[in-house]
């Protein structure tokens, strides 16, 4: 079954809970099966890597870890503030996302 989530890759989101509460970032990847998303600059972890072709020195690399989508809210393109998301039919008969605060359609 294909599950619909309120955020997509490339969206600007606001973290509303957890250690990174209050931060904003761009969604780099959405993991639908686990209901998680990887957000740029949020939930950073230290990954210890062995030397390889990409990192000949090896060492500790900082990278983003997935965060649950229930802790994320889409940033309203009109006001720049976090908003809830709704879905409605457009004039063309296609289901589109819209911001509940401003009513503006989200591309």
**Tens of pLDDT along 2-56?**
678 899 999 999 999 999 999 999 999 999 999 999 999 999 999 999 999 988 8
Q: 96-104, long-range: CB within 8 Å, 24+ apart, which pairs?
A: 97/6, 99/74, 101/76, 102/76, 102/78, 104/76, 104/77, 104/78
Token pair in block for residue 62: 């900082």
Using CA atoms, how far apart are residues 36 and 91, in angstroms rounded to an integer?
Answer: 31
* Per-residue pLDDT reduced to its tens digit, 65-105: 999 999 999 999 888 899 999 999 988 889 899 999 888 88
- Residue 106's pLDDT is 87
- The partner residues of 59 in beta bridges, in order of sequence, read 49
């Amino acid at each position: 079954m294909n599950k619909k989530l309120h955020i997509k890759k490339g969206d600007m989101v606001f973290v509303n809970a957890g250690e990174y509460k209050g931060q904003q970032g761009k969604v780099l990847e959405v993991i639908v099966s686990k209901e998680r998303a990887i957000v740029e600059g949020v939930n950073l972890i230290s990954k210890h890597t062995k030397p390889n072709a990409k990192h000949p020195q090896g060492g500790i690399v900082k990278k983003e870890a997935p965060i649950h989508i229930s802790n994320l809210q889409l940033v309203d393109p009109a006001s720049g503030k976090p908003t809830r998301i709704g879905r409605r039919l457009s004039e063309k008969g296609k289901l589109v996302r819209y911001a509940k605060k401003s009513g503006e359609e989200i591309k």
